[in-house]
Structure 1
Amino acid sequence: MARPPELSLSSTFTPKPFNFRSNSSLPTKFNRPPSFKILFSASQPPPPPSSSKPASAAKTLDPLSLLRAIPDWADRIQERGMRQKRALYNHEKWVNHRTSQRHLRHLLSSLQSRVILSLVPPVLAFTSVAIVVATYNTAVDLHWLPGFFPLLRASSLPYQLTAPALALLLVFRTEASYSRYEEGRKAWTKVIAGTNDLAGQVIAGVDSSADDQPIKSALLHYIMAFPVALKCHVLYGSDIGSDLQDLLEVDDLAVILNSTHRPRCVIDFISQSFKVLNLEESKRTKLESTISSFHEGISVCDQLMGIPIPLSYTRLTSRFLVLWHLTLPIILWDDCHWIVVPATFISAASLFCIEEVGVLIEEPFPMLPLDELCIVVQNNIKETIATEKDIQARVKGKRKMHSYKHSPNGCPKT
């Protein structure tokens, strides 16, 4: 009788030796110092790729992230539009602005409007609520639901009474925002006019002597740098270093970048330059009085940036609009039935668009062509500097020409 084979661990399991390198000899192994990377990878093997897939899948399927995807997308579009540079209008743009085809052009470019795209989340949400209400009422009318489910409908009288209040609320909100826009525009008009005035006084009133010429040149660059510094102060995401690197020296720019209020630092450079120049006291006083427009512009800009429209007013408008459109499908069901869906869509798109415009122009500076204004000021000052000597020579030549008066006997008399 044959004996059954004995079980042996060696027949089913063969321990694998620790393999350093197959093509190296034994003495080389022990002479070489151990590598931390090899020991770490051997002691803690990386997790398999399949283990990371459920986590990423769970992250993408998170309902909260899905709900926030559309609002985040709309906010990115809105912020990208806020950082776009505005352009000054010329004659060609005004002709295009008032053309009779503007309505068709505006309608076809609706999907490119950042105002409309930013309203996708609220309009989509209220339209979905209207679809849910219409579906529920249809199911109740067709007796697809038990009898104790009520039909969602109400009288339109409350809406008729509150509609004028909502209209006035939106009008006052937009009007208050536009007044802030107008105030910011006037402040920048004074800043640009003061910059041109101050540069013209420096060019005409300061002699181009050997001692004052370097200070005069630096002073004109400080004057050109002030609107740029103020623009970067009021616009989010501006790079003042790159905007001023062509106007100021490296040391002056470093001082301005390290200051807490950069426009005021530029004014300090201008004031100190006045003290160094060899000027009469009356001229120096007149130049220093021109800087008051700069301080006034800074004060207005800081107030507009730091003090918004009262937040209670903004919250009231938002809450009124939300409650209005949440209950609008219930109010319109008896008269419109499934027409409540497009009616809610049109109402939400229209009223929220008016409110959105008021919120956008509440911060006036991204709506103004500040970059173009700064470039125009710089070009005007540079052109004045370039034509200064030529204009002086022509004016002096006319004076010499008319200084010779002829006597009745034909002999010139000076």
Structure 2
Amino acid sequence: MIVRPNLHWLRMLFVVRGSILPKIAPQLVFTTIISIAVTLAHGRIFEWKIPLTFIPFSLIGITLAIFLGFRNTTSYARYWEARMLWGSVLNETRALSRQSMTLVSDTSDSPRFVAYLIAFVHAMRHQLRGTDPRADLDRLLGKEDVTCLGRKQFKPITLLLMAGEWLRERRMRGQIEAPLAQLMEMHLDRLGEAIGGCERIATTPIPFTYGVILHRVTYLYSLLLPFGLVDSIGPMTPVIVAFISYTFFALEAVSAEIEEPFGLEPNDLALDAMSETIEQSLREILHRQHTAQMRAREHHIIT
């Protein structure tokens, strides 16, 4: 995902990266060339004049714009839901890390619990993208845990299980009271709901036939449009066709890109940055607790 400061209006006109233009450039050039050829031939194919006016294109264009708008709204709803789920992952992991430092009487092993949470975030990102999480797991977990995870298909769920087992151990040792352990379990449950929601988005795309219909209508509309405009606007036909085609092609391409928000496209979610932010946030909680413990020891020594 590209995150930029607000650009000047003039610079916005010439932005290329993230503007979807490189992706639709070939079909846009092809459509413009066709419209130039139609303009030069005055709307004729060999000796046959194509009897089209702009009236049917006005009606079809309005309908097409409505359906493309609906497709974009649906795609953006998936994108925003995915962002909200990742936001909940940030909130829940922060809450769990804090509680592991403040509700447990002995926090000497709390870094291992926080490591499970950080590993969960990275494993969740890798699972959604279909990439290998081994490098992140190796730097965060012990060999025994990494070996266990290597045999699992759904590694984030296993990491939640490991975190739950850590919590059970603390409860059995009397280091945390049962009601407080239940409270932390509720946060673990919400993390499970977050990964489940993301899996639902990743594995349930918008019905394929819906996209095919819009794709075909968009291209047919753009290819036939110059025949309906050439008699009324003449030499300006290629310019207007290019502008209208750019609008429709861009809307279709954007909706297809953000429909799968976990990918690596410029407008997809910045999962790498979000994972690093969560890890840094949780590590700061660990550092704060370590600093507080050191101060308490110094105070005890002085007194």
TM-score band by shorter chain is 0.7 to 0.9
SS at match of 1:342: helix
Measure the CA separation in 2 of the matches of 1:308 and 1:225: 27
Q: Does 1:205 align with 2:103?
A: yes
The Cα shift of 1:392 comes to: 5.9
8 Å contact from structure 2 (residues 117, 163) kept in 1: yes
8 Å contact from structure 2 (residues 38, 44) kept in 1: no
Question: Which of 77, 85, 89 is the equivalent residue of 1:187?
Answer: 85
CA offsets per residue over residues 254-276 of structure 1, 9 Å max, x none?
32233111111111111122222
Question: Which of 252, 260, 271 is the equivalent residue of 1:370?
Answer: 271
Find the counterpart in structure 2 of residue 109 from structure 1.
15
Measure the CA separation in 2 of the matches of 1:370 and 1:336: 48
Matches within 5 A, 1:140-179: 149-179=47-77
8 Å contact from structure 1 (residues 153, 333) kept in 2: no
Counterpart of 1:178 in structure 2: which amino acid?
Y
Kindly, what percent of the aligned residue pairs are identical? Answer: 23
Counterpart of 1:217 in structure 2: which amino acid?
P
CA offsets per residue over residues 305-343 of structure 1, 9 Å max, x none?
011122232222112211111211111121123332222
Task: Give the TM-score, by structure 2 length.
Answer: 0.86
Question: Which of 253, 265, 275 is the equivalent residue of 1:356?
Answer: 253
CA offsets per residue over residues 70-91 of structure 1, 9 Å max, x none?
xxxxxxxxxxxxxxx655xxxx
Find the counterpart in structure 2 of residue 52 from structure 1.
none
SS at match of 1:324: helix
The Cα shift of 1:295 comes to: 1.1
Measure the CA separation in 2 of the matches of 1:394 and 1:302: 44
- 1:301–1:139: structure 2 CA closer, same or farther, 3 Å change rule? closer
**Structure of higher RCO (CA pairs closer than 8 Å, 6+ residues apart):** 2
Question: Which of 139, 145, 148 is the equivalent residue of 1:255?
Answer: 148
8 Å contact from structure 2 (residues 43, 227) kept in 1: no
Measure the CA separation in 1 of the matches of 2:112 and 2:72: 44
Structure 1 residue runs of 5 or longer lacking an equivalent are 1-84, 88-92, 399-414
Q: Does 1:312 align with 2:209?
A: yes
- 1:249–1:189: structure 2 CA closer, same or farther, 3 Å change rule? same
Find the counterpart in structure 1 of residue 24 from structure 2.
119
The Cα shift of 1:381 comes to: 2.0
8 Å contact from structure 1 (residues 230, 298) kept in 2: yes
8 Å contact from structure 1 (residues 86, 371) kept in 2: no
Measure the CA separation in 1 of the matches of 2:191 and 2:273: 19
8 Å contact from structure 1 (residues 228, 243) kept in 2: yes
- 1:390–1:161: structure 2 CA closer, same or farther, 3 Å change rule? closer
- 1:160–1:228: structure 2 CA closer, same or farther, 3 Å change rule? same
Q: CA RMSD in A?
A: 2.6
Alignment size in residue pairs: 291
Measure the CA separation in 1 of the matches of 2:290 and 2:134: 32
Find the counterpart in structure 2 of residue 241 from structure 1.
134
Find the counterpart in structure 1 of residue 221 from structure 2.
324
8 Å contact from structure 1 (residues 126, 326) kept in 2: yes
Measure the CA separation in 2 of the matches of 1:150 and 1:371: 57
SS at match of 2:139: coil
Structure 2 residue runs of 5 or longer lacking an equivalent are none
The Cα shift of 1:373 comes to: 2.0
The Cα shift of 1:165 comes to: 0.7
The Cα shift of 1:186 comes to: 1.0
Q: Does 1:265 align with 2:158?
A: yes
Measure the CA separation in 2 of the matches of 1:256 and 1:394: 37
Task: Give the TM-score, by structure 1 length.
Answer: 0.64
Larger radius of gyration: 1
Q: Does 1:129 align with 2:34?
A: yes
CA offsets per residue over residues 378-398 of structure 1, 9 Å max, x none?
222222222225436779999
